[in-house]
Structure formats: structure tokens, C-alpha cells
């Protein structure tokens, strides 16, 4: 059998050359093999040290990241407490609009303890638990000069703890028959923690994108109101900026008890 176009190297491998060299200098093959084994052991030890160092670096990295997450989770991004207040201003140069947000004494609605929070006189009610900030929602329908409650309850406004990339939904829906006609109301909210960033002034800030949809259907005729909000929360301060579809409001001063 004949093989063509096949090239072979006549250069011996390193181990063969080492054996040949030491054999010429009078060393036995056993001694040569022991020397090779020692060299291999040194290489293995170096590799083990490298693996150990890499493993330790990975542990330090994971521990640092975990500590950072734990620290952020331990921070209070919603410091609602009686006496706390925040003042915001929009970006209008002439005659800017000011909104004062104040936390009033605790109240109880639908057997749920909550914080009344005044937005320049307009009061909203928030209930805080381990997994959510919930907002009290009440939809009324006026018929012949009298208000009737169609929907009432608490809806998840912000899912806790704040984690970048989390998306959530919640809704309330109910109906009522009034003098032969059905009135149906629905309130939906979609929240998304779109990003996490570090700010030199406020620290670790989370941006929460909110879309609320309120619909009212009377005798088959429906009206729908959609509102989009961007809210920015900082640790141990709370809301530092919020944007609606028309204006951008930023925190100018605040007081925490």
C-alpha cells in the first residue's frame, strides 16, 4: 500500500528530545521519567492555582452583586409616613406649576389601613404591603343627580420590591343595574420597571412606566380614558420625578420625618 502527498515531520516531540538529551548525558530512563513527572506536577499545580484564583474572583463578583441587590431591596423607595412631604416643579421657565405632595394621618378604607396622600389638595389613598403599593380606586356614575358606585377597591400600582425588567398587570371590574339599564366600569393598570440607573444626587433610581385605562359602558355605549405616566423613585427619598403626557415634574425640596 502506498500513500502519496503525505508529509511527516522528522522533528521529535519535546519529551523525546528531552529523553535523548539526558540519555546522552548518562542519566537513566527512570530518572528522566521522574523529571518529566515533576515538571508535569508543577504545571498541574500552576493550573490549580489559576483555577482557584478564577473561582475566588467569581465568588467575589457574585457576592458583590448579591450585596448590591440586597442593599437596594432594603432601601425604602416609598417612604409614606405622616408628616413627610415633597415639592415638585415642572420645567416651564415662566410661571412654573408647583405640586405639593403631603402624607396625611393614616386612614382605613374597606378594612384596609392606608395612607392618604394629598397632591395639592387632591387626595389619593395608598396601602403598602411586602409585595405591592396598592391604590384605592372608586368609579362613580351619576344618574339623575345622584352618584352610584360601580367599582371600588384597591389595585396594584407598583409591584415590590422594585426589580428592573419586571412587568405586571391588575384590574378591577364590576357592573350595576340602574333602572333597567346596565352600567359597567373597568379600571386596568399595566406597570413596567423599565430601567435602573445610578444618579450622583439621589443614588440608585428606578423608572416605573405606568399605563392606566378607565372605561365606563352605559347601555352599550362606552367611554375610555387612558393615562400614561413615568415615575422615578430614589432610595429613602421616594418619588423624585414624574412625567405625564404634557409636563415633566422634578423634585425641588422635601422633608422626611
Grid cell locating 238: 421616594
Q: How far is residue 79's CA from residue 117's CA, in Å, rounded to a whole number?
A: 12
- In which residue are the cell numbers 396625611 written? 104
For cell 415590590, the residue is 160
Distance of alpha carbon 238 from alpha carbon 193, whole angstroms: 15
Alpha helix segments (H runs only) across the chain: 14-24, 29-74
- Work out the angle at residue 168's Cα, subtended by the Cα atoms of residues 164 and 174, and round it to the nearest 5 degrees: 160
Task: Measure the CA–CA gap between 238 and 129, rounded to whole angstroms.
Answer: 16
pLDDT tens for the 257 residues of the chain, in order: 444 444 444 444 544 554 454 444 555 555 555 555 565 566 566 656 666 655 554 544 454 444 444 445 548 999 999 999 999 999 887 889 999 999 999 999 999 999 999 999 999 999 999 999 999 999 999 999 999 999 999 999 999 999 999 999 999 999 999 988 999 999 999 999 998 889 899 999 999 999 999 999 998 899 999 999 999 999 999 999 999 988 999 999 999 99
Q: Any idea what the Cα angle at residue 211 is, between residues 205 and 214, rounded to 5°?
A: 145
Per domain, the residue ranges of the chain are: 14-74, 85-255
Handedness of CA 81, 82, 87, 88 (dihedral sign): positive
Amino acid at each position: 500500500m502506498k500513500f502519496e502527498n503525505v508529509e511527516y515531520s522528522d522533528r521529535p516531540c519535546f519529551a523525546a528530545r528531552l529523553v535523548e538529551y539526558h540519555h546522552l548525558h548518562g542519566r537513566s530512563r527512570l530518572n528522566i521519567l521522574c523529571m518529566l513527572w515533576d515538571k508535569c506536577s508543577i504545571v498541574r499545580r500552576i493550573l490549580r492555582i489559576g483555577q482557584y484564583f478564577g473561582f475566588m474572583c467569581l465568588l467575589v463578583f457574585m457576592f458583590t452583586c448579591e450585596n448590591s441587590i440586597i442593599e437596594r431591596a432594603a432601601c425604602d423607595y416609598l417612604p409614606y409616613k405622616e408628616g413627610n412631604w415633597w415639592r415638585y416643579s415642572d420645567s416651564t421657565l415662566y410661571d412654573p406649576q408647583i405640586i405639593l405632595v403631603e402624607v396625611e394621618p393614616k386612614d382605613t378604607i374597606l378594612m384596609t389601613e392606608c395612607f392618604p396622600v394629598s397632591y395639592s389638595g387632591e387626595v389619593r389613598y395608598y396601602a403598602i404591603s411586602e409585595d405591592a403599593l396598592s391604590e384605592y380606586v372608586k368609579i362613580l356614575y351619576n344618574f339623575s343627580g345622584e352618584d352610584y358606585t360601580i367599582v371600588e377597591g384597591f389595585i396594584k400600582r407598583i409591584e415590590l420590591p422594585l426589580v428592573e425588567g419586571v412587568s405586571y398587570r391588575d384590574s378591577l371590574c364590576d357592573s350595576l343595574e340602574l333602572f333597567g339599564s346596565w352600567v359597567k366600569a373597568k379600571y386596568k393598570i399595566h406597570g413596567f420597571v423599565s430601567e435602573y440607573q445610578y444618579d450622583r444626587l439621589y443614588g440608585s433610581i428606578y423608572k416605573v412606566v405606568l399605563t392606566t385605562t378607565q372605561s365606563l359602558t352605559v347601555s352599550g355605549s362606552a367611554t375610555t380614558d387612558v393615562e400614561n405616566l413615568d415615575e422615578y423613585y430614589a432610595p429613602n427619598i421616594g418619588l423624585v420625578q414624574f412625567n405625564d403626557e404634557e409636563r415633566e415634574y422634578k423634585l425641588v425640596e422635601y422633608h422626611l420625618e
